[in-house]
Amino acid sequence: MKRPHPVLMALIVTAIAVAAAGVLFQDRISDGFRANSLRPDDPRTVALGGEIYRRECAACHGEKLEGQPAWRQRLANGRLPAPPHDETGHTWHHSDGQLFDLTKYGPAVLAGGGYQSDMPAYEDILGDDEIIAVLSFIKSRWPRAVRNRHDRLNAQEAR
């Protein structure tokens, strides 16, 4: 019986390893997040989230969620500045689950392909309830129309 070419075998083994890693990683994603976990109308959750936001996020994303100047233009190092989390940014264009994953695991892990970002993963810094509190605080600051649109996005993703 003819043996497969070594390069072909290496490609097959690599493909299997990448597929297995993807399955394992997908099991990690959203492990602490459940549907309707964000509580932007709960004063205690929002207050806690505000405290954590000021401590962990405001230095880059701004005290008023305004983000860094020219946040859509790459810096000299090729990375993007921190975007705003208010209604002028794109935060509300992502579902609750995506925002949770982005915060917990970091944009570099989720984007893949060697994506470079100054935002750390908060997996070892904040607990799941703290991440949910921060995201609840951010969402609580959006105008009602933006929150309603974001809720519709979440409902579509849940289907």
What is the domain-level CATH number for residue 150? 1.10.760.10
Distance CA 65, CA 86 (A): 5
What is residue 15's predicted lDDT score, i.e. its pLDDT?
44
Write the pLDDT tens digit of every residue in 77-100.
999 999 999 999 989 999 899 999
Which two tokens mark 106? Answer: 């970091």
Write the pLDDT tens digit of every residue in 108-130.
887 888 888 999 999 999 999 99
**Is 10 among the domain residues?**
no
Number of structural domains found in the chain? 1
Write the pLDDT tens digit of every residue in 43-72.
999 999 999 999 999 999 999 999 999 999
**Is 20 among the domain residues?**
no
**pLDDT at position 35 over 50:** yes
CA atoms lying within 13 Å on the CB side of residue 43: 0
Q: Which domain holds residue 92?
A: 38-158
SS3 percent helix, strand, coil of the chain, rounded to 5, is: 55, 0, 45
**Is 146 among the domain residues?**
yes
**Is 91 among the domain residues?**
yes
